Structure 1
Amino acid sequence: MRVHILHTGRVYIDRSLAYREKSLHPAPYTGWFRGKEKKLWVPVSSYLIEHSKGTVLVDTGWHEEIRVNPRRHLGSFAYSMFKGELPKGDSIAEQLQRLGIKTKDIDYVILSHMHSDHVSGLRHVQDAKKILTSEMEWRAAQKQLGYIKSMWKGIPIDTFKLEGIPFGPYQKGYDLFADGTLYLVHTPGHSEGMVSLLIRLQDQWLLLASDVGYATRSWEHLILPGLTTDKKAAYQSLQWVQDFSQREDCLRVIANHDPNVKPEVMA
């Protein structure tokens, strides 16, 4: 099994969206009326997993439209809070082509959650064999603020129900290949139905922690993201990531937006 860590653009956000802070500002994570010194660029990551039972893409990064008309792509409300950037050659379509992988041959596209920087590029891979997100996340995306439904309109998305698994803050998730090698672990809080990916590499585990925390220091110091749907659940998920990172059989924990994580191939 091999795991490709890909950067599929980057996003310009207020630092308090990544690392919750106390402030007189009622919603500092929006970035509204906060200066440039409080903003930062962080990568937007996707992951390609070459498994013996199938090819799996986790999240899709930015769509190429963001290069030419970001306001239209994100909508004026989201555009007022964050900006996206996608260098030439970095879209998921361009990177898959470079790897010689046709989107129709991808067995699963897993959406860890359905925030824009994770699903924006979905149309680039819409002909994959199956696109999956958790049933809980799908329901939340239909009714809650913070989602841009135009990014998946007309695209067939399947859902999975949470089942009992040996891992996670609630021991809920989905064993994708039913063989204990790749778990979708329910780690809610940042969004209602978010999952992290737990991948068995040799005799160790690689944990792709999505947005449970924005960088290693998030779980080392238990710093929540600035935006959560359930603060208690977010803390439990982050605490579980911290605990898991300290296991002897934990190879590595990777956050989606960690600026210290570089593109590489892990095997």
Structure 2
Amino acid sequence: MTNKIKIHVLHTGLVKVDKALPLHEDYRNPLAYTGLFRSQKNQILLPVSSYLIEHPKGLILVDTGWNELVRKSQWAELGLQVQINKAYLPAGWSVREQLERLGFQDTDIKYLLLSHLHSDHASGLPLVKNAQNILVSEEEWQAAQRDKLRYIAKMWRGVDVQTFKFSDTQLGPAHKSFDLFGDGSVQMILTPGHSRGLSATLVTGSDGRSVLLASDTGYAQKSIRQRMTPGIAVDRKWASMSVSWVNQMSHRQDVIETIVNHDPDMAPKVIELPYE
């Protein structure tokens, strides 16, 4: 490790969805995002992103993308969810393959942080199950135990998932965050709406500049600019407040990049921040 924080933006799969899912407010039909009874011409292909953070205090992975099993059978991995989102994982794209390409194994990961437990973020968990600490918010874990429609529990079966507690702070729309190292360099911020315990990740260098990994608060830069909530939301009011907060953050001078998980215009790259 060096005296820098290196954020690797990785594409760990692709997902095909109805175009109403990322751009919900563009459609009057409230169920358009499901793609049911809509033509294939409305389907679009979006990246599924994960983030590998080389931090002086330990290697961090945020989200896992698709399991390699989707290459054999989407139905076996996703069940009925294939009606809404279809998974694709090109050769070399899995989180395991990308870690190996960068010279790492899952045992090197000190913290695996899950923004939430929807399938495109948690499907790859078995590929990195030997990470030293696998963390998700208490709110998200509890929601996943109750909701069998939006979550697929077998994705974390046999994986030692632990929960973290948010503290009351001034960060985020709900004023709740979790400081991973206690130094402000990596903070998980509660941004509910798309899911109960959705977390954005704020990575901050010693010079005060930050990168906001906004997960699924929005699906593209258009979502952030126009405060458009995603099609899937358990609470539309909170989803609106969360994307509005991300919009505000994106206008701050100290936030040098705001990245959402499924942005079709975001190419894999590396962002560096100083750490002293």
- TM-score band, normalised by shorter chain: over 0.9
| Deviation string, structure 1 residues 59-107 (Cα, Å, up to 9, x no partner) | 00001010111111111x1012221110000000000011111111100
- Report the Cα offset of residue 203 of structure 1: 2.6
Match of 1:98 in 2: 101
Once residues 42 and 204 of structure 2 are traced to their aligned partners in structure 1, the CA distance between those partners, rounded to angstroms, is: 38
Of 156-165 and 252-261, the range deviating more from structure 2: 156-165
Q: Distance in 1 between matches of 2:269 and 2:28?
A: 40
Tell me if the contact between 1:189 and 1:229 (Cα under 8 Å) persists in the aligned partners: yes
Provide the C-alpha distance between the structure 1 equivalents of 2:265 and 2:26, rounded to a whole number of angstroms.
25
Identity of aligned residues (%): 46
What aligned pairs does 1:5-16 form with structure 2 within 5 A after superposition?
5-16=9-20
Equivalent residue for 1:265?
270
Pairs within 5 Å for 1:143-158: 143-144=146-147, 145-158=149-162
Cα RMSD (Å):
1.1
1:46 aligns with 2:57: no
Note the alpha carbon deviations across 1:96-130, whole angstroms, 9 max, x for none.
01111111110011010000000000000000001
* CA-CA distance at 1:24 after TM superposition: 6.0
How far did residue 27 of structure 1 move? 1.4
Structure 1 residue 120 corresponds to structure 2 residue 113: no
The TM-score normalised by the length of structure 1 is 0.97
Q: TM-score, normalised by structure 2?
A: 0.94
2:64·2:122 contact (CA, 8 Å) conserved in 1? yes
User: Partner of 1:100: helix, strand, or coil?
Assistant: coil
Q: In the aligned structure 2, how far is the partner of 1:251 from the partner of 1:26?
A: 34
How far 1:23 sits from its partner (Å)? 4.9
Which of 21, 24, 27 in structure 1 is aligned with 2:31? Answer: 27
Aligned counterpart in structure 2 of residue 74 of structure 1, from 67, 70, 78: 78
- 1:51-200 to structure 2, matched below 5 A, reads 51-75=55-79, 77-144=80-147, 145-200=149-204
Q: Distance in 2 between matches of 1:38 and 1:92?
A: 29
Aligned to 1:107, what secondary structure does the other structure show?
strand
CA distance in structure 2 between the partners assigned to 1:95 and 1:197 by the alignment: 21
Q: SS at 1:49's partner residue? A: strand
Alpha-carbon offset, residue 26 of structure 1: 5.0
- 1:17 partner SS: coil
1:256 corresponds, among 239, 257, 261, to 261
Deviation at 1:37, TM superposition (A): 2.1
1:219 match: 224
Cα deviation for residue 165 of structure 1 reads 2.8
User: Which segments of 5 or more consecutive residues in structure 2 lack a partner in the other structure?
Assistant: none
Q: In structure 2, what residue type is equivalent to 1:193?
A: G
CA deviation after TM superposition for structure 1 residue 211, in Å: 0.2
Structure 1, gaps ≥5 residues long: none
Residues 148-177 of structure 1: CA deviation (Å, up to 9, x unaligned): 111111211000111023311122010000
Misfit runs of 4+, over 6 Å = none
Residue 208 of structure 1 corresponds to 213
Residues 165 and 175 in structure 1, CA contact (< 8 A), matched pair in contact too:
no
In structure 2, C-alpha distance between the alignment counterparts of 1:196 and 1:149, rounded to whole Å: 22
Contact 1:54 1:107 in 2 (8 A): yes
